[in-house]
Amino acid sequence: MLITFDNDRASDSPFIERVWRCHSERAGIFLSVASSHWEMVITCVRGKSIVTLRGPETKPTEVLCPENGEWLAIRFKAGTFMPQLPAHRLMNTLGVNLPQLSQRSFLLNGRKWEFPTFDNAESFVNQLVNKGLVARDPEVTAALRSEPTAISTRSAQRRFLQVIGMTHNTLRQIERARFALNLLREGVAIADVVWQCGFYDHAHLTRSLRRWIGITPTEVNRPDTQLSFLYKTEGFPLR
């Protein structure tokens, strides 16, 4: 494998979706698949580290992976955002690199921050929240949970687009494609994936994976298929 994902864990933080880390042993190309979330990624290559804010992504992208690289990422929950950095500035880009002050620190909003670790991600994000650099939108959170909101439907749609960087429908399509991909990776039959994920037919599933993942159902388990980080979710709501 080009990239080996060493560890990942869920979080009890209302702001963090997942914390993960990986490494590479050789250089090559991998597919960064569509994602409705943004991440803070710490990259270490040849002794140099850099902090990057990345995502969301509404299309798969081929990305060059360097050899002997190490990565740590904090994946934020949908509805979490940085007031000073709107989602559209991160959308479908290689990300925004933050100024580095030393081998273990970087600059954010005019302040020095120590690099987070796999174990202290929650306390690090709590500090960002306390300084007003990370927040969670209650109306978007309610919409994601299919709960009523205190604002009009049109206002809720605008808020969702502003905070997430995409519409609610686009987010659901991306999440459905990612869930379907994991089922296929587990060896679930294509017909069963179509039914479980609410696709119309095999062709609908294929179009979805091509658009959001960049491969077809038959290519999912090919040994030369290297994708960005994915993790198993409990299920996908059809409504």
- Identify which of 205, 145, 144 has the alpha carbon closest to the alpha carbon of residue 176: 205
**What is residue 149's predicted lDDT score, i.e. its pLDDT?**
79
**Listed residues 118, 136, 154: the one ending a domain:** 136
The verdict on 187 and 105 lying in the same domain is no
**What is residue 239's predicted lDDT score, i.e. its pLDDT?**
42
Give 144-204 as a DSSP string.
Answer: HTT---SS-HHHHHHHHHHHHSS-HHHHHHHHHHHHHHHHHHTT--HHHHHHHHT-SSHHH
pLDDT beyond 80 at 125: yes
What global pTM score does this model have? 0.90
**What is residue 173's predicted lDDT score, i.e. its pLDDT?**
95
Kindly tell me the sign of the dihedral angle through the C-alpha atoms of 217, 221, 225, 229. Answer: positive
The verdict on 132 and 172 lying in the same domain is no
The verdict on 193 and 94 lying in the same domain is no
The verdict on 100 and 14 lying in the same domain is yes
**What is residue 236's predicted lDDT score, i.e. its pLDDT?**
54
The verdict on 8 and 112 lying in the same domain is yes
**What is residue 238's predicted lDDT score, i.e. its pLDDT?**
46
The verdict on 124 and 174 lying in the same domain is no
The verdict on 127 and 184 lying in the same domain is no
pLDDT beyond 70 at 232: no
**Which residues partner with 96 through β-bridges?**
53
**What is residue 171's predicted lDDT score, i.e. its pLDDT?**
94
pLDDT beyond 50 at 58: yes
- Mean residue pLDDT of the chain comes to 90
How many folded domains does the chain comprise?
2
CATH of the domain at 182: 1.10.10
| Structural domain includes residue 198 | yes
**Listed residues 136, 158, 193: the one ending a domain:** 136
The verdict on 115 and 180 lying in the same domain is no
**What is residue 47's predicted lDDT score, i.e. its pLDDT?**
84
Rounded CA-CA distance 121/107 in Å is 17
Domain, as residue range, for 81: 3-136
- Overall average pLDDT of the 134-161 stretch: 86
